[in-house]
A and B are shown apart, each in its own frame.
Chain A
Amino acid sequence: MTALLEVRGASKHFGGVIANREISLAVPEGRIVGLIGPNGSGKSTLFGSIVGAHPVDAGSIEFEGAEITRLRTPQIARRGLVRTFQQTRIYRKMSCVENMLVSVPAAGEGFLDMLRPRNDEDIDEAEELLEFVGLYAKRHLVAGSLSFGQQKLLEFAMALMNRPKMLLLDEPTAGINPTLINGLLERLKRVNADLGITLFVIEHNMRVIMNLAEHIYCLAHGELLAEGSPDAIRNDRRVIDAYLGAT
């Protein structure tokens, strides 16, 4: 199994604060990999670096064997590497379907593509995906009027609309009604199994991540603390001290 995403020695600091120090990790194609760590351990920063929001100071990032360290966010997204945000981010004044349509992975982004009218195939696909996350009935509502959990689902559907090869999910279950979490877990697994999308998931909910991921990386204070299978992580002394012990 080859690594779809490979991070080598990534470091990032903001002013004097070191957010990531020489982090190396790999996410194999077709897998679900977890990323855990206490608050402020640099998980979201690492996501930001991978997708080009703020590139690393040192180190390199490869996606599908190609160097993407210096590419900008939209370019990386177009290669099929898409993230969702911890604080849910949707287009508040647009309807759900319109939110979805923004994410259409146009063949190019040339002048003529920009002036293209909406097409029915895209709308059908958007509606199917909205149904997949359970928002079909609300598809014509303004996204800002949805509840937080529904916005989260919408954001997930928007990411799928991009037909990504790999999704970086930043706390997909945070703020979601616990009774709905199992449904979401089910969907994440199906996305991975049926659509073949590789998932790299930041998650605070231990039950969720142990259930979901096949392999877990743990960050603490900006450094890679441990990695391994869920069982190994669960029993790792350092992880328990740094993370599980603290909560």
Chain B
Amino acid sequence: MTRRGVDRAVTLAILPFAIAAPFLWPDYMTFLTFIWIMIVLALTWDVLGGQMGYNSFGNILFFGIGVYATTIVQIGLFADVGAYTSAYGVETISLSRHEFLIGLAVGLAVAPLLAVAAAALLGSGLLGLRGQYFAIGTLGLGIAGGELAAAWGWIGGSFGVQVPVFPGDVLERRLLFYFLAFALAAATFLTLKRLYGGRFGLALNAIRDDEDKAEAMGLYTTRYKTVAWCIVAFFLGIAGGLVGQINGYIEPREVAFAGASFGIWMVLMAILGGKGTIWGPVIGAILFYLMKEFFWQQFFGWQRVALGLLIVVIVVFFPIGIIGWLKQRFPERFGHKVDEQARIAPDPAKGAPP
């Protein structure tokens, strides 16, 4: 089977599985929902981190913006946000089914736009920089976002925001967010896959391998870099909005601008699976989240230490990741082979090859 054929077969096999899964294993629905979210986090980190060769430690900023924007918009459509947040969760608003869904839809539309605006603004400055300067410039973005959200009383300050209660039963709510998360993961995957297969992917890879050369060949690199970050921010904004809603409660430092968990996981997942590939982040996300879910309890409070150790070990000893390793082991499977036919057509006029 050709590589494209394998891709298509796998993609099609996942679809019925994804649709049936919540009905087959209803107890694991939240877990599965988070798998889809993790795939989005890993895939989006890889756009810059893998395909473009720019380490971004600040992507969690867009996620956090999405978390807040979605829920604040949802509340704001039907209630006074300042009054709601200053009641510290004592005063709840009960939205009708209709209101809840309308609010959610508008919120999930506003969130990515705000995130993209932030990416465009920051990117126009930071992405003019080369790799290492960009990496450090993004180090503080997540924390800065958390600090600013914590200092902003209107959106609940450090206390956070209570998400409006879903008007319906638990199973229904879980199903809704499961399918939203799945749709997001699928949209992210397909969009990126298409982009990587075209001019955009070529440009990102060229920037990764030699940015000066790409400019000398006429590529407007800053423009590509900024658009790439905006695409990342778009999907992360929606992902954040979903996570905030699923969580039911928003807090600036641990939920929204969760640099110490999601922010680090996305880096780890992408590298584990194989950065710079489309399937790598997907595999890395699934593998990591399974590991996290089933072994996390074994560490007795040392989970985050183990996480740090895992990053160091993977980056230092296994930087190419699972797919990267496969690529190295079986290059022909990925299409890197010498063509037996040495020329397009023998053409005596063109002379012998050197």
Contact = CB atoms under 8 A, between A and B. Distances in A.
B354 A184 contact: yes
B338 A91 contact: no
Given A94-B206, A132-B350, A51 B198 contact: no
B13 interface: no
A92 to B, nearest CB: 5
A95 B342 contact: no
A55 to B, nearest CB: 14
A91 B218 contact: no
Given A131-B343, A136-B343, A137-B339, A116 B215 contact: no
Nearest to B205: A94
Given A113-B199, A134-B354, A141-B336, A103 B344 contact: no
A127 B221 CA distance: 25
Interface string A5-30: 00000000000000000000000000
Contacts of A134: 353-354
Interface in A136-174: 136-142, 153, 158-159, 162
A78 B218 contact: yes
B292 to A, nearest CB: 30
A59 B208 CA distance: 34
> What is the size category of the interface that chain A forms with chain B?
35 or more
B210 A141 contact: no
A223 interface: no
Given A89-B210, A94-B209, A136-B344, A117 B215 contact: no
A180 B354 contact: yes
A46 interface: no
B335 A91 contact: no
A170 to B, nearest CB: 11
B212 interface: yes
B200 A82 contact: no
B195 A115 contact: yes
B336 A93 contact: no
A118 B338 contact: no
Contacts of A78: 218
Interface stretch (A32-40, A104-112, A212-220): A104-112
Contacts of B215: 72-74, 77
B217 to A, nearest CB: 5
Contacts of A137: 338-343
Contacts of B338: 137-138, 140-141
Contacts of B219: 74, 102, 109
Given A91-B213, A109-B220, A115 B336 contact: no
A101 interface: yes
A102 B224 CA distance: 13
Nearest to A84: B216
B199 A117 contact: yes
A142 B218 contact: no
Contacts of A62: none
B214 interface: yes
Contacts of A98: 202, 205
A90 interface: yes
Interface in B95-141: none
B52 interface: no
Given A91-B206, A104-B199, A77 B339 contact: no
A53 interface: yes
Contact of B335 (A82, A95, A105): A95
B198 A115 contact: yes
A82 B227 contact: no
Nearest to B228: A114
Contact of A90 (B199, B213, B335, B341): B213
A139 B202 contact: no
Given A90-B210, A118-B199, 7 more contacts: A89-B213, A90-B213, A94-B209, A118-B198, A136-B344, A140-B338, A141-B338
Interface of B: 194-195, 197-200, 202-203, 205-206, 208-210, 212-221, 223-224, 227, 276, 331, 335-344, 350-354
25 contacts: A51-B216, A53-B212, A53-B216, A74-B220, A77-B215, A77-B216, A77-B218, A78-B218, A85-B216, A90-B209, A90-B210, A93-B205, A95-B335, A102-B219, A109-B220, A111-B227, A114-B199, A114-B203, A115-B195, A117-B198, A127-B344, A131-B343, A140-B339, A183-B351, A183-B352
